[in-house]
Structure 1
């Protein structure tokens, strides 16, 4: 499927490559290919700025960026993004034990309710990923 013309910039393509590697091609391709007109500017901005501009910087590796994102999304109490970025963290080599440590750190600095929600999400995502690994 051809991408909309709004998604043709070099920065978008660069971001798309990283986004697919971290979050999985199926999820990202569905988000990009099935985007509604109203959401196109947000999809473009997210892919270019977050993934093309920030995630490609050399100052931090992907594993570190993933751990930071899990902590920040826990602080913001954004469960859907927590689940997505825990899967991305696993894809970037963050272990379940490291995710646990990030969430414990977030618990102290962000509050128990936010960390508890993220612990529950992480538990489900890690179980799912382990089941998929066994079945593949």
Structure 2
């Protein structure tokens, strides 16, 4: 693996949790491995380690984009990461309200549903 992959793996584990990342990597097969490696190397290694934005701000941007795009699995995952990065539940609510207004109520409703599931998992409910 490259140095960028190693940097990305470190950040990815810090944001998403070591258990989740280890499970994700272990679950990669011959078909999915390249995408998993690219995601770690380029998203987490090349982008998340850049100095231009802090992790909290990157989390806020990600929540808005993932909610707008209707990517429930990734949104749920990044809600958990955003909480680790210091984004509050009230701030997440405001971000997702903005998604609902600018991207459509169905997008907002789905985003809220997935965020609530993420909160419940984090809180052990």
TM-score by length of 1: 0.88
**Which residue does 2:60 correspond to in 1?**
67
Deviations 1:71-112 (A, max 9, x none): 101111011111001011011111000100100111111111
How large is the RMSD of aligned CA atoms in angstroms?
Answer: 1.1
Larger Rg: 1
User: For residues 13 and 82 of structure 1, what CA distance do their matches in structure 2 show?
Assistant: 24
| Residue in structure 2 matching 1:35, options 28, 36, 39 | 28
User: For residues 39 and 83 of structure 1, what CA distance do their matches in structure 2 show?
Assistant: 21
TM-score by length of 2: 0.95
Question: Structure 1: which 5+ runs fail to align?
Answer: 1-7
**Which residue does 1:46 correspond to in 2?**
39
Question: Structure 2: which 5+ runs fail to align?
Answer: none
User: For residues 37 and 130 of structure 1, what CA distance do their matches in structure 2 show?
Assistant: 35
Choose 122-131 or 20-29, whichever is displaced more. 122-131
SS of corresponding position for 1:37:
coil
Runs of 4 or more, structure 1, over 3 Å off, are none
User: For residues 120 and 24 of structure 2, what CA distance do their matches in structure 1 show?
Assistant: 24
* Count of paired positions: 125
Say whether 1:107 aligns with 2:100: yes
